[in-house]
Amino acid sequence: MTTIETAPKTTPALDAHALEHPDTLVELYRRMRLIRQFEDRASRLYKTNQIPGFLHLSIGQEASAVGACWPLDDRDVVTSTHRGHGHCIAKGLDVDGMFAELMGKETGTCKGRGGSMHIADPRKGIFGANGIVGAGMPIAVGAGTAAQLKAEGAVVVAFFGDGAVAQGVFHESVNLAAVWDLPVIFFCENNGYAEFSSAADQHRATLKDRAAGYGIEFHSVDGNDVTAVAALQTELVERVRAGAGPMIVEAATYRWHGHYEGDPQSYRVEDELAEWKLRDPLEVLGARMRAAGLAERIEAVHADVDDTIGQAVRLANEAEYPVAETAGDYVISERTFIPEPPVPTEGVWKTMHSITAALTRELDDDPSVFLAGIDVGEGGNVFGLTRGLAEKYPGRVRDTPISESAIMGTAVGAAMAGYKPVVELMYFDFIGVCLDQLMNQAAKLRFMTGGAASLPMVVRTQFAAGKSSGSQHSQSLEALLAHIPGLTVVMPSTPSDTYGLLRAAIQDPNPVVFIENRLLYGMKGPKPADDHIVPIGKAIVRRPGADVTVVSYSAMMQGCLAVADRLAAEGIDTEVIDLRTISPLDFDTILTSLKKTNRLVVVHQAVGEFGVGAEIAAKAVREGFWYLDAPVVRVTAAQSPAPYSPVLEKVWLPDEEAIEAAIREVLDPDPSK
């Protein structure tokens, strides 16, 4: 049944006899039967509208789930797919909570926040079913990284379907796991169809061919024979625990139901399902058990499982739905209060040095912190910000391939496994190639797990315009990320705040995107104390004033302060507020200032429409309408991509002249002049 397609490394003797023990066979059968009955009942509940939302079932694939998880223990982690009920049950999740979750009840595994496609319990090493095809694989790489750093022999199994092989994250994840020699088994359940399309129509290379390309082992197995899967997986898990590195397993199986419940299945080949049902995983094992005289124990399993399923459904039906007032719970983890530190006035250092110092301090203080990214190790970062750290912290400062999605997923998985990863996205403009791992994974997993998942991770990135970097290396995209609930977005403007906010971000229990302006790397400012730390989500008044409020952040803050100083000579008293954190937005500080000045200007380098300034203006009109004596004015980049030509870029960028004009406009808003 099992073939090993490449020469294996030294392999310990497999105790195949143990899998033939009657108690083992009964337990394998029980787990498969539990999955089968769970999904059969779920199908019926869906048809009677007791389960809302989408439902994807794995009936027919029980052997691959049970066999793949058979040798796993509490150390180990699995990541799953949108068809993940079987994986969750095989890893030990109770069906009481799962039925309640499918019904959207408060007693559900994820408190009704996840549903069928997103069931997870990180406390049991179940890092989640996933509604995005292939998205669990980068997370598995992160969990594997944590396992490698912890060095306790943990193994990660990343389940995926044959359709996910066409996703870029498959390549990025397997390649990174191979480069880092991670303890990850990529387990493909090849059920013959990628949604509605035959697998034969989707690929021109086999998984065996692909594995050879990544330089890792490939193994195939009959996915409908649970003992064959368990035997292979027992061998591989033991070897991976011992350091054999990542592997790919392909289990040939078949799903009896459609891609989703209600799928008309017009793509099925006639008689194909009937042929596969002759190889029903439960019947394959059941026949062997009956031949071994275990018929009575099979019937006992049936009765026990039926009771378990019946009770679980009853409890789920009786459970309450979440209270409406809790709809916004679990979006972010509660932050530890950090008082505003004194503003440093002595010493001198550059922003670039503050970044290196903050990373060094956190690496020193917390062994769960590690850095990863393109050229952050031997290269020391493209701007030299991490130079020397790889030598000082071996294994905790890691170079990656150019694989942004895998890098972000590594952060997600490692954070869920208890680490505090700091990963680097070389340019902010590249956010588009890895947005899923931030938008659909990092930002949502705490919410979708009902608070069970913790995501203490930082994404460091940088941007700037003004030096002819062109349209794909100049973008200020903070509004895009600030629009995603669950993400924290930080943009410092001074060396001391960069140090204090980066330290706070690394210590924070939430996913933080830390955005630096590369044109500030050489900026000099006072050097704070080593224990300096700045609260996230709190703006600061950089310059008090009484006539007009100017709100900005990042590099534009310097221009605002320069204009305010010049206007002071004319008797115009400008209050300048530095947001520092874009999301969550500290509007209270803005409103307090607006009550005093009655006029508001917002300045940022990003384009204006649908931006941070627009959000602040909307809040000012809603919450501060009665204090406004003039319209809110925004000073932003023009509504076009960043030009390359210096002449065009100068026109495109907001400058001090535009800031000054806006201040004068709100001070004298008479349109007739």
CATH tag for 540-667 (out of 3.40.50.300, 3.30.930.10, 3.40.50.920, 3.30.365.10): 3.40.50.920
- Rounded to an integer, the average pLDDT of 349-359 is 97
For the residues of 149-217, what is the DSSP string, one character each? Answer: HHTS---EEEEEEGGGGGSHHHHHHHHHHHHHT--EEEEEEE-SEETTEEGGGT-SS-HHHHHHHHT-E
Average pLDDT, the chain: 93
Give the model's pLDDT for residue 320: 97
Exposure of 206 by Cβ count < 10 A (0-12 exposed, 13-18 middle, 19+ buried)? middle
pLDDT value at position 14? 42
Cβ proximity of 550 and 660 under 8 Å: no
CATH code of the domain occupying 349-525: 3.40.50.970
Backbone phi and psi for residue 622, each to the nearest 5 degrees, phi listed first: -75, -45
Half-sphere exposure of 588 (CA within 13 A, CB side): 4
| 3: β partners | 220
pLDDT of the residue at 670: 73
Measured CA distances, 450 to 69, 104, 523, 631 (Å): 24, 11, 43, 42
Of 473, 516, 575, 665, the catalytic one is 473
Is 346 among the catalytic positions? no
**Hey, do 349-525 and 540-667 end up sharing a CATH topology, with the first three levels equal?**
yes
Q: What's the whole-number mean pLDDT along residues 41-53?
A: 94
User: Could you tell me the residue ranges of all domains in the chain?
Assistant: 3-319, 349-525, 540-667
pLDDT of residue 672: 63
Confidence of residue 357 (pLDDT cuts 50, 70, 90): very high
Which 8-state DSSP code applies to residue 631? -
Looking at the chain, the whole-number percentage of residues with pLDDT higher than 70 is 96
- The catalytic position among 217, 235, 404, 665 is 404
Helix axes 62-69, 226-241, angle to 10 degrees: 30
Question: How confident is the model at residue 4, as a pLDDT?
Answer: 34
Pairwise CA distance, residues 338 & 547, whole Å = 31
| 243, 151 contact by CB (below 8 A) | no
pLDDT in tens, 175-219: 999 999 999 999 999 887 766 667 676 777 899 999 999 999 999
More confident residue, 543 or 131: 543
The model's confidence at residue 2, banded by pLDDT at 50, 70 and 90, is very low
Residue with tokens 């100049």: 474
Residue with token string 């204009």: 563
Task: With H, G, I as helix, E, B as strand and everything else as coil, classify residue 232.
Answer: helix
Please give the CATH architecture assigned to the domain spanning 3-319. 3-Layer(aba) Sandwich (3.40)
Is the pLDDT at 259 greater than 50? The verdict is yes
585-611 pLDDT, tens per residue?
A: 999 999 999 999 999 999 999 999 999
Name beta bridge partners: 490.
514, 581
Q: What is the predicted pLDDT for the residue at 244?
A: 96
Element (H, E) at 648: helix 646-652
The per-residue pLDDT for range 428-444, each reduced to its tens digit, is 999 999 999 999 999 99
Phi, psi of 156 (to 5 degrees): -115, 135
16 band by pLDDT with thresholds 50, 70 and 90? low
Residue 10 is predicted with a pLDDT of 31
pLDDT at residue 567, rounded to an integer: 98
Q: State pLDDT tens for residues 364-403.
A: 999 999 999 999 999 999 999 999 999 999 999 999 999 9
Split at pLDDT 50, 70, 90, the class of 1 is: very low
Burial of 77 (C-beta count, 10 Å sphere; 0-12/13-18/19+) = buried
What does the pLDDT read at residue 199?
Answer: 67
263: Cβ–Cβ under 8 A, 6 or more apart, which residues? 196, 257
- Length of the chain equals 673
CA 153 from chain centre, in angstroms, equals: 24
Q: Which of 94, 164, 161, 171 is nearest to 126 (CA)?
A: 94
pTM of the model: 0.94
In 560-651, which ranges are E strands? 574-578, 581-583, 600-607, 633-637
Question: How far, in Å, CA of 569 to CA of 208, rounded?
Answer: 74
What does 114-163 look like in DSSP terms, one character per residue? S-GGG--BGGGTB----SSTTTHHHHHHHHHHHHHHHTS---EEEEEEGG
473 catalytic? Reply is: yes
Tell me, what's the pLDDT at 12? 35
What is the CB neighbour count within 10 angstroms for residue 661? 14
